[in-house]
């Protein structure tokens, strides 16, 4: 394996954040101006692919290791990785079903929500993903202090996201789940997503605590990788849910 310097990997992480931020700014602008749903549907796909590759390092799934000792840590690590991705594939079907429901029930209309709040929580989650990636990279390079700092920031931003959506947006929305169809769709989508954010927060908190107690090393830190990859998945779901609820379509009262 070629030796890549820690600083260049961290730099790459920052570049990816930059790209994601730009794409988010673009979709927000398009939504407010020309609002072409086809464009707004493609941008999340690009964001997702960036995260799948650079943050979630999906390519690690395809590394050849047939000849490694089955009982070795490396082999079991790769098996765990497969298990995690299978779980994410399965989980994505729930979110897929929710998207289909939103499209079928609301079509090209969208609920009346607070745009600045929507953009804010999206940015918060995006930055949390950046720090999650940073934390994982630092752990890979044995920098425990930076790992703890970055993971703490991830955790804090994740909690901030929950406060923003469940604490604020849910309260301020001009409808309840029973008021109309837009309300029902909004609450069920953000509810399922928030539940996953919550479990992600719990997972990260456990990993942070164990990390602070020196449980993980640069060679053995599967829990860190797993919690961070799960966290990125939750962010990717939001890449799709955000435009679906906030950006695409015309307002329905």
Partner 1 sequence: MRKIYSIGLVRGLLWQILGTALGIGILTGIRYLMGLTAWKGESAAVFGALLGSLFFVYGIGAMDDWIKVAGGQEVHEPDESGWGSMRYFGVSLDHKVIGIQYLALSLVLMIVGGSFALIFRTELADTGMQFLTLMEYNTLMSLHGMVMIVGILVGVAAFMNYLIPMMLGARDMAFPRLNAFSFWLAVPASLILLSSMALGGFDTGWTGYPPLSARAPVGVQMFFLGVSLAGMGTVLSSLNIIATAIRMRATGMTGFRLPIFVWGSLATSLVSLTATQLIGLSFQMVMFQRLFGMGFFDPAKGGNPILFQHLFWFYSHPAVYVFVLPGLGIISELLPVFARKPLYGYKWVAISSFSIAIIGFLVWGHHMFASGMAEYLRVPFMYSTLLVAVPTGVKFFSWLGTLWRGKIEFPVPMLFVLAGIVVFLIGGLTGPPNATIATDLHLTDTYFITGHFHDTMFGGYVFPFFAAIYYWFPKMTGKRLNETLGKVHFWLMAPAFIILSTVMMRTGLLGMRRRIADYDPELYLVQDHVVMTVAGFLVAVGILVFIINTFWSLRRGEVATGNIWNSRSPEWQVPSPMPAHNYDRPFEVVGEPYDYGLPGSVYVEFKEE
Contact residues toward partner 1 (CB under 8 A) are 70, 75, 78-79, 82-83, 86-87, 89-91, 93-94, 97-98, 100-101, 104-105, 176-178, 180-181, 183-185, 187-188, 206, 209-210, 213, 215, 223
Q: How far is the CB of 21 from partner 1 (least distance, A)?
A: 31
Q: How far is the CB of 179 from partner 1 (least distance, A)?
A: 8
Nearer to partner 1, 8 or 90 (CB): 90
Residues 243, 47: Cα–Cα separation, whole Å: 12
Q: How far is the CB of 239 from partner 1 (least distance, A)?
A: 19
Q: How far is the CB of 5 from partner 1 (least distance, A)?
A: 31
Nearer to partner 1, 32 or 82 (CB): 82
Q: How far is the CB of 240 from partner 1 (least distance, A)?
A: 16
* Helices within the chain (DSSP H only): 6-32, 37-50, 73-106, 115-140, 144-162, 170-172, 181-212, 222-242
CA distances in angstroms from 79 to 1, 70, 173, 213, listed in the order given: 20, 10, 44, 26
Question: Do the Cβ atoms of 194 and 165 come closer than 8 Å?
Answer: yes
- Is 193 buried (19+), middle (13-18) or exposed (0-12) by CB count in 10 A? buried
CA distances in angstroms from 126 to 31, 39, 251, listed in the order given: 19, 20, 26
Nearer to partner 1, 43 or 184 (CB): 184
Nearer to partner 1, 32 or 105 (CB): 105
Q: How far is the CB of 17 from partner 1 (least distance, A)?
A: 30
Q: How far is the CB of 184 from partner 1 (least distance, A)?
A: 4
Tell me the two tokens of residue 178: 């029973």
Residues 13, 219: Cα–Cα separation, whole Å: 21
Nearer to partner 1, 48 or 185 (CB): 185
Nearer to partner 1, 43 or 98 (CB): 98
Nearest to 239 by CA among 126, 134, 128: 126
Q: What is the 3-state secondary structure of 18-57?
A: HHHHHHHHHHHHHHHCCCCHHHHHHHHHHHHHHHHHHHCC
């Amino acid at each position: 394996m070629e030796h890549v310097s820690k600083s260049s990997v961290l730099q790459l992480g920052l570049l990816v954040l930059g790209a994601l931020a730009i794409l988010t700014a673009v979709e927000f602008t398009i939504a407010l101006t020309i609002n072409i749903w086809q464009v707004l549907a493609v941008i999340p796909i690009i964001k997702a692919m960036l995260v799948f590759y650079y943050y979630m390092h999906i390519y690690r799934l395809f590394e050849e290791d047939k000849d490694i000792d089955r009982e070795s840590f490396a082999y079991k690590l790769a098996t765990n990785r497969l298990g995690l991705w299978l779980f994410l594939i399965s989980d994505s079907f729930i979110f897929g079903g929710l998207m289909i429901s939103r499209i079928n029930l609301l079509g090209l209309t969208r609920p009346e929500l607070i745009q600045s709040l929507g953009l804010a929580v999206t940015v918060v989650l995006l930055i949390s993903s950046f720090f999650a990636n940073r934390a994982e990279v630092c752990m890979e390079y044995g920098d425990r202090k930076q790992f703890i700092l970055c993971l703490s920031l991830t955790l804090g931003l994740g909690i901030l996201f929950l406060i923003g959506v469940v604490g604020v947006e849910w309260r301020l929305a001009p409808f309840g789940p029973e008021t109309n169809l837009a309300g029902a769709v909004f609450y069920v989508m953000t509810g399922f997503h928030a539940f996953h954010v919550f479990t992600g927060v719990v997972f990260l908190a456990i990993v942070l605590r164990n990390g602070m107690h020196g449980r993980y090393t640069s060679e053995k830190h599967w829990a860190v990788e797993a919690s961070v990859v799960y966290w990125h998945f939750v962010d990717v779901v939001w890449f799709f849910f955000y435009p679906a609820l906030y950006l695409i379509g015309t307002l329905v009262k």
